[in-house]
Amino acid sequence: MIKVNIGEARNRLSELLQRLEEGQEVVIARGNEPRYRVTLIEEEAVTDRQAALDRLLRLREGTKPVSQEELRAWRDEGRA
C-alpha cells in the first residue's frame, strides 16, 4: 500500500497510476488521516461480480435440483 498526502498525490499522479496498474493500493491522506482509497475500476467490477456469484452459490446450497418437467410445469402454470 502506498500512502501519500493530497499535495504529493497531485505531484506524483502518473507514478501512482502506474502503481495502481501494477496492483498496488493507493491511499490519499489529508494531513495524517487516510481519507481516500484509489482503485482500478475493472478490478472493483470483477470483485463485485465475484461477490454476487458467491452469494448466489451460497443461496443454492442445500436446494434440490429442478427437473425439466418441473420447469415446464412452472412456466405453463395458469396458462389456458
Q: What is the mean pLDDT of the chain?
A: 90
Q: Is the pLDDT of residue 42 over 80?
A: no
What is the pTM for the complete model shown? 0.51
- Identify whether 2 is part of a domain: yes
**Is 77 among the domain residues?**
no
pLDDT of residue 63 exceeding 90, the answer is no
Return the pLDDT at 43. Answer: 66
Of residues 28 and 44, more confidently modeled? 28
Q: Which domain covers residue 38, as residue numbers?
A: 1-42
What mean pLDDT comes out for the span 36-51? 81
Number of H-type helices and E-type strands within the chain: 4, 3
pLDDT band at 15 (very low <50, low <70, confident <90, very high): very high
Number of domains in the chain: 1
Q: Is residue 66 assigned to a domain?
A: no
Task: State the average pLDDT over residues 32-54.
Answer: 84
Q: What is the pLDDT at residue 76?
A: 93
DSSP label at 72? H
Residue 37 belongs to a domain with what CATH number? 3.40.1620.10
Phi, psi (degrees; rounded to nearest 5) at 5: -85, 170
